[in-house]
Structure 1
Amino acid sequence: MEMMPAPALILLNESGRETALKLQQFFPEALVHGLAGRVDDADIQFRQTARHLQELYKNNTPIIGICASAILVRCLAPALENKNVEPPVLAVSDTGDMVVPLLGGHHGANDMARLLAAHLNGQAAITTASDLHFKIALDNPPADLHLANPEDMKTFAGHLLSGRKVRLEGDHPWLTQSGLPLDEAGDLSIVVTPKKVKGSPEKLVYHPKTLALGIGCERYASRKEVTRLVLDTLEQAGISRHAIGAVSSIDVKMDEAAVHAVAALFGHQARFFSAAELEAQTPKLQNPSDVVFREVGCHGVSEGAALAAAGPDSQLLVPKHKSRRATCALAESPEPIDPTVIGRPQGKLSVIGIGPGQDGWRTPEASRLIGEATDLVAYGLYLDLLGDSIAGKVRHNFGLGEEEKRVRAALDLAATGKNVALVSSGDIGIYAMATLVFELIQVEKRTDWDRLEIEVTPGISALQAAAARAGAPLGHDFCTISLSDLLTPWDAIEKRIKAAAVGDFVISFYNPVSLKRRTQLHAARDILLQHRPANTPVIIARNLGRQDETVIHTTLQDLDPETVDMLTLVMVGSSESRTTTTNTGARTWAYTPRGYAGKMKVSLQEKDKK
């Protein structure tokens, strides 16, 4: 069964709880979606069943409903549009003894039903005719085959069921080991070929992913030029783009945008080989070049990369084709190509801020990048905050104070071709690891680091979280100042505090104290008292977004630095900051006016004049 997103487990009653837990054993990353009011404990709760199911379906999320089939059918009926893109939808009885694929039978649901029935010791109710008669779903081929004319599948299947025989042109074990009525004299045909062949209601055409595309290009060659070269080469050779099983090049092109653009066009991640690996292909090259050898250390990039990716028994199918700044070639393997085991990919480093720690404050982009990563690098506590969402990933834990070791480890891991997430709480670009990543890259100038794909994603910072919990203290100009003098001299920090005080900024103090550093917050308070009122609002926010979160309102004169610890952010208002209350005085809010009151006053005065 092809890889697909983790399914949503829909639980409508507590009677299906045990089955839901068994399904989570099979799908460790699946979340239980429970109907509020009927299900006490769920990862996600919903109140409107039909709307929730339709949203999941439209987002292409596989759905496993632990409920009656009719419920899923009625709820999803308004969302049904295109049979060719529907996600698997299955109904599982409360006891788990029956698994019914309702939608997406040939898009994974039938296979999933069989696997789940075996796991639950139940029975799969498969009703698709071709599955029952021939033990094969012709419109759901394995990942290394592509059906070129799915629009003809329904009619073709009807011919099969009427008793007609099939002539197989080409070979693939998925077809030869099925129960299809194969006969060399058959009047129906199934063609397995990398060539572009027109199908029909009496001819199904499958393209095996047996071709490797090799690419060479000058530095910064345009995506448009390289893509055009590749597509024109395929067209001239009469080859289907769906037969491309791998896209590869030499490792010095690992960061070349055009190579990755072409790979993405064919649904692949580009793979790369060293010059020595490509030089080993020289006896098979049709266009060896001494000029290329002098430049990169091998006699051919595009032909060599194609042959290396297609394996030791491959042959060059289409020799080097050239455009002004690029080359490409095709090699054919006798077997389908698994691109995940050839060469190595460009390494990726995702620099991720996860916010204060709770799931609701973590961005979808951060969750996606963490989900895609193979390795996670962080201070151990930050990874603990991610809970079960990082199950199965390799953790690289580092202690406090080991920031440089953390970043170096992340860069080195990514340089081996891994997908690495460097994780920090809050926003990783604010007093965190992101700046050290780029500083080390600039200072060290290592080629393997220079070739990495790097993506930085923001997180909700401590000052945003504190401001939201306290009201709206950042409504006007503000700044942040770290009171840690570990990396910045105190004289410089003191100048910044004085400048912010004179400028009347709202100030968020990061790292206000530590076990050994207790005087800086005292000094900062004394400086501010020289420039703003003693009753200036102050917010003391600790463990934001976590179970033991506390947010305390006080004033500048009453701020006691001895009550603050290293997990606390201290926010001091400007001279304009105010507090107000709601809930009959039970809840205090801080805010900093931006001038709307004055604007409203002028508007009212102008209205009175009229």
Structure 2
Amino acid sequence: MTPDTRTATATPTGKIMLVGLGPGSLGHLTARARAAIAEADTVIGYTTYIRLVADLLAGKEVIRKSMTEELDRAIEALDRARQGRKVALVSSGDAGVYGMAGPTFEVLFDAGWTPESAIEVEIIPGASALNTCAALVGAPLTHDFCAISLSDLLTPWPTIARRLDAVAYADFVVALYNPKSGRRTRQIAEAQRIFLRHRDPQTPVAIVKSAYRPKQRVEFSTLERMGDADIGMLTTVLIGNSNTFVRDGLMITPRGYANKYAVEDGERATRDGEQAGRSLSTGLDGWIAAIQESGRSAADLAREYRLPADYIQSVLDTPLAAAED
């Protein structure tokens, strides 16, 4: 009888675990992240990140790399996994937020890897600087927000500047990653210049350095004065929106409940013209009806709402019934 030479899906010969360490304190390391490090034969990471989990690395092969050697870390991880080893490739924060997940998949795909390949890949999330810094200063991210890295090592400055201008204009709360380093000192000043084109100089700003690490520092400032703060590579800068305020040492961005509800004497009441559980009267349908009934020009409405005139015109030209559908 001729033996069956067909091969089934390959059994994993090695494993790469992309581990998010969170802010850096072991108390904020997730249970799965801790278990992944315990499971690993080899741990690879930037020297500072390795130091954060040094107490968990006894008996393991440890490979330390410099700040700009992200691709080298991924290549080392692939090499060890091909040898059948279990590799923990660590990042501070979350591995998928300015972390090692992206570079690792680039290296894997270039090597012909697929999810069905013999090497298993697992992404283990951790709290990013957005979350951890926000937790230290209050509730600045309760409404829409975004993150922008000011590092121009891999991203052209005009691209970064366009993103800064767009989110400043659109009134997002913004977290600035990689705001400043020993060589990159001007980028944070340029970001401030761009924001001041669109935002009140008194907009609250929180500057958080080394969140949940021994040298943690939290400082509150304003958009106008943020350049006076101590900002470095281990700092995250949180810029509020037009409704963000600081009170009793806490930075708060309202979610918008006051647009719909009034609270008096401990009782909540729906404001006139609003309905609980339904869009605001100034929500999409109500706004479309109002501008279509106004008889005003697209150009005039565009100036008021700070929206493109061609978009306003397309809304005016759309029958209300069709817009509601």
TM-score category, normalised to shorter length: 0.7 to 0.9
Q: Within 2, Cα distance between the matches of 1:437 and 1:353?
A: 14
Match of 1:461 among 128, 133, 136: 128
**Residue 25 of structure 2 is aligned to residue 358 of structure 1:** yes
Would the aligned equivalents of 2:47 and 2:65 in 1 still touch at CA under 8 Å?
Answer: yes
Match of 1:589 among 242, 246, 250: 250
Would the aligned equivalents of 2:140 and 2:252 in 1 still touch at CA under 8 Å?
Answer: yes
**Residue identity matched to 1:590:** M
**Residue identity matched to 1:599:** K
Aligned partner of 2:304 in structure 1 is: none
SS of equivalent to 1:553 = strand
**Residue identity matched to 1:601:** A
Q: Within 2, Cα distance between the matches of 1:393 and 1:594?
A: 46
The change in CA–CA distance for 1:598 and 1:559 in structure 2 (over 3 A counts) is same
Q: Within 2, Cα distance between the matches of 1:445 and 1:494?
A: 35
**Residue identity matched to 1:371:** A
Displacement of 1:560: 1.2
**Residue 272 of structure 2 is aligned to residue 604 of structure 1:** no
Aligned partner of 1:573 in structure 2 is: 240
**Residue identity matched to 1:589:** L
1:502-535 alpha-carbon deviations (Å, 9 max, x no partner): 1110010001011111111111111111111111
Displacement of 1:599: 2.7
Residues 169-568 of structure 1 aligned to structure 2 (within 5 Å): 287-289=1-3, 292=5, 346-446=13-113, 450-560=117-227, 563-568=230-235
> Structure 2: any 5+ residue segments left out of the alignment?
273-325
Q: Within 2, Cα distance between the matches of 1:572 and 1:529?
A: 11
Displacement of 1:354: 0.5
SS of equivalent to 1:463 = helix
**Residue identity matched to 2:259:** G
Residues 43-58 of structure 1 aligned to structure 2 (within 5 Å): none
Question: Which has the bigger relative contact order, CA under 8 A and spacing at least 6?
Answer: 2
Displacement of 1:598: 2.7
Would the aligned equivalents of 1:369 and 1:421 in 2 still touch at CA under 8 Å?
Answer: yes
Displacement of 1:443: 2.5
SS of equivalent to 1:474 = coil
Aligned partner of 2:291 in structure 1 is: none
1:411-457 alpha-carbon deviations (Å, 9 max, x no partner): 11011111110001111111111011111222231589942111101
1:158-191 alpha-carbon deviations (Å, 9 max, x no partner): xxxxxxxxxxxxxxxxxxxxxxxxxxxxxxxxxx
Runs of 4+ in 1 over 6 A off after TM superposition: none
Q: Within 1, Cα distance between the matches of 2:156 and 2:44?
A: 29
Q: Within 1, Cα distance between the matches of 2:12 and 2:198?
A: 57
Q: Within 2, Cα distance between the matches of 1:360 and 1:474?
A: 23
Would the aligned equivalents of 2:45 and 2:89 in 1 still touch at CA under 8 Å?
Answer: yes
Displacement of 1:390: 1.6
Q: Within 2, Cα distance between the matches of 1:363 and 1:545?
A: 14
1:99-125 alpha-carbon deviations (Å, 9 max, x no partner): xxxxxxxxxxxxxxxxxxxxxxxxxxx
Q: Within 2, Cα distance between the matches of 1:511 and 1:449?
A: 36
Would the aligned equivalents of 1:357 and 1:385 in 2 still touch at CA under 8 Å?
Answer: yes
SS of equivalent to 1:456 = strand
Would the aligned equivalents of 2:12 and 2:117 in 1 still touch at CA under 8 Å?
Answer: no
The change in CA–CA distance for 1:494 and 1:527 in structure 2 (over 3 A counts) is same
**Residue identity matched to 2:250:** W
Q: Within 2, Cα distance between the matches of 1:514 and 1:355?
A: 21
Q: Within 2, Cα distance between the matches of 1:447 and 1:556?
A: 46
| Length-normalised TM-score, structure 2 | 0.77
Would the aligned equivalents of 1:521 and 1:561 in 2 still touch at CA under 8 Å?
Answer: no
Would the aligned equivalents of 2:18 and 2:88 in 1 still touch at CA under 8 Å?
Answer: yes
> Structure 1: any 5+ residue segments left out of the alignment?
1-286, 297-325, 327-343, 582-587
Q: Within 2, Cα distance between the matches of 1:391 and 1:447?
A: 32
Q: Within 1, Cα distance between the matches of 2:116 and 2:88?
A: 15
Q: Within 2, Cα distance between the matches of 1:532 and 1:424?
A: 34
Would the aligned equivalents of 2:178 and 2:233 in 1 still touch at CA under 8 Å?
Answer: yes
Aligned partner of 2:289 in structure 1 is: none
1:508-566 alpha-carbon deviations (Å, 9 max, x no partner): 00010111111111111111111111111101000111111001011101111673111
Aligned partner of 1:182 in structure 2 is: none
SS of equivalent to 1:563 = coil
Would the aligned equivalents of 1:411 and 1:449 in 2 still touch at CA under 8 Å?
Answer: no
**Residue identity matched to 1:508:** A
SS of equivalent to 2:72 = helix
**Residue identity matched to 1:392:** G
The change in CA–CA distance for 1:447 and 1:495 in structure 2 (over 3 A counts) is closer
| Length-normalised TM-score, structure 1 | 0.42
Identity percentage over the alignment?
42
Would the aligned equivalents of 2:219 and 2:229 in 1 still touch at CA under 8 Å?
Answer: no
Would the aligned equivalents of 2:204 and 2:244 in 1 still touch at CA under 8 Å?
Answer: yes
Would the aligned equivalents of 1:441 and 1:449 in 2 still touch at CA under 8 Å?
Answer: no
The change in CA–CA distance for 1:600 and 1:606 in structure 2 (over 3 A counts) is closer
SS of equivalent to 2:88 = strand
SS of equivalent to 2:269 = helix
Q: CA RMSD in A?
A: 2.1
Q: May I ask how many residue pairs the two structures share in their alignment?
A: 266
1:339-369 alpha-carbon deviations (Å, 9 max, x no partner): xxxxx96211100010111111111110111
**Residue identity matched to 2:41:** T
**Residue identity matched to 1:558:** R
Displacement of 1:380: 1.9
